[in-house]
C-alpha cells in the first residue's frame, strides 16, 4: 500500500533538506529586472565568500591565459574578464553545488542533474530563451527524488531496487505505487516553497510529460533529460524519460535531421567541466 502523503506533509518535511540557497532566487530576479545593474550583481556575489573566491579564481585563470601575471582581487575587473554570462553561471552552479554537498545524495544523482542542466542550457541557445533559467531547471528537475531519499529513505531504497530489477518499469508509476505521488509533483511543491519563478516550477513539474508543453522552458527541460539519457551521461539510468515529445522539439526549434554532433559534443564536454564544481 502506498504512503499517504498530503501536500502539507511534503512541505513540512522539506525542513529535513538543506536550506535552499537564496542567491539563486536573487540572481534569477535580476534577470527579470531591467533596472538591475552590474554593480548590483557584483554586490550580490560579494555576499557569499565561496562564490566570490570561485569567480576570482576563474578570472585569474583567464588573466594568466592572457599573460597577465597579477593576482586579481577586484570583482569589477574579474567580471570584465569572464563576462556577465559566465558570472551568472558560476553563481548558480557554485550555490547549488554547496546545496548538493549538504544534501548527502549520491553522486550519480547530481552528475545526472548537472548533465541535464548543461543540456538545457545548450538547447536554450537554439530555442532563444534564458540559459540561466534553463540551467536551474535542469539542475533541479529531479529534486523531488532528493525529498524522497531524505524523508523516506527505506521506501526510496526499495523503489530503486524495483527499478533496477525491472528495466521496463516506468519511474512515475513506480513512485506513485510506493509514495502515492511522483517526484515531479513533489518537486513542484518544493520549488513553490522555495519561491522559485513560476516558469521554473512548471518545468520541474512537467519534465516527464509527453503532451504538448505549455512553454519553451518545459520543453527544454524535457528534451534535455531525454538527450542526456541517450548520451548516457551521469549514469542515472533509473530516471530515464523513455518518450520524447515531438512537439517539445518543434517548440524549441530542434531538428533531428540536422547534424547535431557539435551540440552533443558541447553537452558532454561541458557536463564533465561543470561536474568538477560539484564533486
Average pLDDT value for residue range 2-28: 92
Q: Take residue 82 and report the three cell numbers written for it.
A: 569572464
Nearest to 91 by CA among 22, 20, 19, 23: 23
Nearest to 125 by CA among 261, 224, 14, 3: 224
pLDDT at 190: 97
b/e sequence 250-277, b meaning 16+ C-beta within 10 Å: ebbebeeeeeeeebeeebbebbeebbeb
Q: How far is CA 78 from CA 64, 70, 111, 149, in A?
A: 12, 12, 28, 39
Report pLDDT digits (tens) over 187-212.
Answer: 999 999 999 999 999 999 999 987 87
pLDDT at 72: 60
Q: Quote the CA–CA distance of 228 and 246 in Å, as a whole number.
A: 16
Residue 38 has pLDDT above 90, yes or no: no
Angle, alpha carbons 46-51-54 (nearest 5°):
120
What is the DSSP secondary structure assignment for residue 35, as one 8-state letter? T
Contact 42, 76 (CB under 8 A): yes
Average pLDDT value for residue range 21-42: 82
Residue 162 has pLDDT above 60, yes or no: yes
Q: Take residue 147 and report the three cell numbers written for it.
A: 525529498
Nearest to 253 by CA among 216, 211, 228, 206: 216
Report pLDDT digits (tens) over 57-101.
Answer: 887 876 665 555 556 667 888 888 788 888 889 899 999 999 999
pLDDT at 131: 94
pTM, to two decimals: 0.91
3-state SS string for 193-235? HCCCCHHHHHHHHHCCCCCCCCCHHHHHHHHHHHHHHHCCCCC
Alpha helices in 66-130 (DSSP H): 75-82, 84-103, 107-127
Report pLDDT digits (tens) over 231-278.
Answer: 888 765 555 556 888 899 999 999 999 999 999 999 999 999 888 888
Band of residue 34 on the pLDDT scale cut at 50, 70, 90? low
Question: What is the share, in percent, of the chain residues with pLDDT greater than 90?
Answer: 56
Contact 114, 92 (CB under 8 A): no
pLDDT at 191: 97
Residue 161 has pLDDT above 70, yes or no: yes
* Burial class of residue 33 (count of CB atoms within 10 Å of its CB; 0-12, 13-18, 19+): exposed
Q: Take residue 209 and report the three cell numbers written for it.
A: 510529460
pLDDT at 104: 86
Report pLDDT digits (tens) over 121-153.
Answer: 999 999 999 999 999 999 999 999 999 999 999
CA dihedral (236, 237, 239, 241) in degrees, to 10, reads: 130
Q: Quote the CA–CA distance of 172 and 124 in Å, as a whole number.
A: 26
Amino acid at each position: 500500500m502506498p504512503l499517504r502523503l498530503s501536500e502539507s506533509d511534503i512541505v513540512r518535511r522539506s525542513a529535513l533538506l538543506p536550506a535552499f540557497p537564496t542567491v539563486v532566487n536573487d540572481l534569477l530576479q535580476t534577470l527579470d529586472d531591467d533596472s538591475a545593474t552590474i554593480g548590483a550583481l557584483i554586490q550580490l556575489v560579494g555576499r557569499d565568500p565561496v562564490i566570490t573566491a570561485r569567480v576570482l579564481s576563474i578570472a585569474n585563470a583567464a588573466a594568466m591565459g592572457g599573460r597577465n601575471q597579477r593576482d586579481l582581487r577586484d570583482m569589477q575587473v574579474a567580471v570584465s574578464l569572464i563576462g556577465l554570462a559566465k558570472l551568472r553561471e558560476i553563481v548558480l552552479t557554485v550555490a547549488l553545488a554547496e546545496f548538493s554537498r549538504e544534501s548527502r545524495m549520491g553522486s550519480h544523482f547530481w552528475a545526472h542533474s548537472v548533465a541535464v542542466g548543461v543540456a538545457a542550457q545548450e538547447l536554450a541557445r537554439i530555442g532563444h530563451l534564458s540559459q540561466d533559467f534553463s540551467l536551474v531547471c535542469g539542475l533541479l528537475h529531479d529534486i523531488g527524488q532528493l525529498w524522497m531519499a531524505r524523508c523516506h529513505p527505506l521506501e526510496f531504497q526499495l523503489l530503486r531496487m524495483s527499478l533496477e530489477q525491472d528495466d521496463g518499469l516506468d519511474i512515475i508509476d513506480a513512485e506513485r505505487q510506493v509514495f502515492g505521488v511522483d517526484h515531479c509533483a513533489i518537486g513542484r511543491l518544493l520549488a513553490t516553497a522555495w519561491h522559485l519563478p513560476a516558469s521554473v516550477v512548471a518545468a520541474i513539474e512537467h519534465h516527464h510529460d509527453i503532451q504538448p508543453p505549455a512553454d519553451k522552458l518545459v520543453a527544454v527541460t524535457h528534451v534535455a533529460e531525454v538527450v542526456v539519457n541517450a548520451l548516457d551521461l551521469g549514469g542515472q539510468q533509473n530516471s530515464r524519460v523513455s518518450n520524447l515529445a515531438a512537439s517539445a522539439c518543434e517548440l524549441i526549434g530542434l531538428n533531428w535531421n540536422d547534424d547535431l554532433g557539435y551540440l552533443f559534443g558541447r553537452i558532454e564536454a561541458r557536463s564533465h567541466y561543470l561536474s568538477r564544481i560539484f564533486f
